Amino acid sequence: MKNVIRNLLDWIYKRRCYCCSSSKESLPICSKCYSELDFNSPMVDRIIAGVNVYIAGSYDKNMQKIIRGIKYHNKKELAYYQAKFMYEYFKMLDINKQFQVVPVPLHQDRQRKRKYNHMELVAKEFCEMTGFIPNFELIKRIKNTKPQYKLSRVERMNNLNKAFIIDLSKYVNLPILLFDDICTSGATFESLILELNKNNIKNITCFATTSPNF
Ligand SMILES: [Zn+2]
């Protein structure tokens, strides 16, 4: 009986918006919750190691839910909404370039545990919208780093030291769009940029969904 009730609740819950759980639209994210997402101004947010970093919008309640839903709760259907948000922001930038989109890679142990790299899902959707080329093979994470959020800036850089390797055989001759969900200190982007630079790859732009304000 318990299972029947749980299944019924699952069924009802799945048909409701993941953010407000109340919309009757039968969409993973209802139009009201999506429209409440808050875009940043279309401009460079910061420069890391000489590279422009763009951040699509605020780290507000709904955005946090979407990101956590994809990342930790297997809500793959939310990737479309995160990608759409990033796409709508990116269009405002008016950058008329073709890119290869390179999401920040997970270590294979973590990817195995999570079954997928959430940012690959978002990148796939984003590439369908933009016509950009996804490239999931160029960079590999060879060190299973600790979560960054508890570490100081110096600890973050040490944690990421020698974390990535580049497979040049997978390089496509297009500018790179490094692609991540949350950019906090920027240490992950920095470490990736430095590694790409070491391999003589210089034409890089960084793009994250959001950045928490501390
Ligand atoms: Zn909603």
* pLDDT tens digits, 37-55: 999 999 999 999 999 999 9
Rounded average pLDDT over 190-212:
96
Dist. CA 23 → ligand 1 center (Å): 5
Residue ranges near ligand 1 (ion) with Cβ within 5 Å = 17, 19-20, 23, 30, 33
The rounded Å distance from CA 118 to ligand 1 centre is 21
Does 191 have pLDDT greater than 60?
A: yes
Does position 86 have pLDDT exceeding 90, yes or no?
yes
> Is a pLDDT exceeding 60 seen at residue 13?
no
Cα 111 to averaged position of ligand 1 atoms, centre (Å)? 29
CA of 8 to the centre of ligand 1 (A): 20
Residue 85 Cα to ligand 1 middle (Å):
15
pLDDT bucket at 20, cuts 50 / 70 / 90: very high
Domain boundaries, the chain: 1-35, 37-145+157-210
Work out the average pLDDT over 15-31: 87
**15-19, 75-79, 114-118, 178-182: which range is least confident on average?**
15-19
Decide which of 109 and 175 is more confident.
175
Write down the H helix ranges in 57-209: 61-72, 79-93, 108-114, 118-130, 153-160, 187-198
**pTM of the complete model:** 0.89
The C-alpha angle 104, 90, 105, rounded to 5 degrees, equals: 5
**Rounded average pLDDT over 162-172:** 94
Q: Is 152 exposed, middle or buried (0-12, 13-18, 19+ CB in 10 A)?
A: exposed
Tokens 């973050």 correspond to what residue? Answer: 156
Q: Could you write out the DSSP letters of every residue in 186-212? A: SHHHHHHHHHHHHTT---EEEEEEE--
CATH topology of domain 37-145+157-210: Rossmann fold (3.40.50)
Q: Has residue 14 got a pLDDT over 70? A: no
Cα of 21 vs centre of ligand 1, distance in Å, is 6
CB environment 166-198: b (16+ within 10 A), e (fewer): beeeebeeebbbbbbbbbbbbbbbbbbbebbee
